[in-house]
Amino acid sequence: MDITELTRKILDRRAKDGDPLRIVQAGHPALRRTSLSARGRLAPELLLELVDAMTVTMRDAPGVGLAAPQVGLPLSLYVIEDRVRAAAGVGSEEEQHGEDGEHGENGDDAPDQPHESHGRRAVDDTDELDDLEERDAEDDLLERRPVPLRALLDPQVTLLGTERVYAWEGCLSVDGWQSIVPRSRRVRVQALELLPGGELREIDEEHVGWPARILQHETDHLAGTLCHDLMVPRSYIESGYAPYYADLGEAVRRLGLSGEIAELGEGEVIAR
């Protein structure tokens, strides 16, 4: 079966247009293959339909990125988006996550991947405020900022500098689990970007912090690498335990972690 036939088959598995695609889990062979170049591989209309379906799937999960191998398609393509909640506060779930839309829309969201949410529960206004302050502090450490919806074909990511950021990551294809993954703080990405009207343009950009982590996570998928392949040994946990280890110092002590991560000072996540 060629890539066009496989793409059509994957899209047609949906009960109706607009439904999310099935996200395959660790063990599916597409997650371990080196992806095929996406340039010129699909007709423009089919490519746009695929990207729209992947966007719906990413938002429904919810996540901040989704690579084609995660829907069973070994194609060098992914979508990314982080619609970070407004600093003034958090609204309803619908306000946080926005509404599913076509490729090219932006909004505000609090996503679950690579750094999955901790499932915190607001008991009263004081608890909710404390929770927001904790998340704001964590966002500052990880240099988290909004990432607009983008679809990238054949991305090449180059690591820049020597700074590494340690943070928890989850993967929609390893549902329910997290680990601490060191990532380069700065990257250069070269790719073809698919614009909403179907036009392709070459990009060559540098990113730092949270956006750099997303790009590394999704680009790894195209080489058959899962984030947990790169984890700090002994840091693999069920997601429900994540609140106990939000502070990396607690993770080091309670999980018996060693190496560079154990040398970080209190409140530090960047190793130089």
* Neighbour tally for 182: CB within 10 Å: 19
Tell me the two tokens of residue 116.
Answer: 């999955």
3-state DSSP call for residue 196?
coil
Preceding amide of 114 cis, omega within 30? yes
Does the annotation place 227 within a ligand binding site? Answer: no
Whether 56 and 100 have beta carbons less than 8 Å apart is answered as yes
Preceding amide of 62 cis, omega within 30? yes
Does the annotation place 217 within a ligand binding site? Answer: yes
- Positions marked catalytic: 218
Tell me the two tokens of residue 215.
Answer: 């790009």
Does the annotation place 171 within a ligand binding site? Answer: yes
Phi, psi of 190 (to 5 degrees): -120, 130
Q: What are the residues whose beta carbons fall under 8 Å from the beta carbon of 5, sequence distance 6 or more?
A: none
Residue ranges for the binding site for Fe cation? 171, 217, 221
Annotated binding site: 171, 217, 221
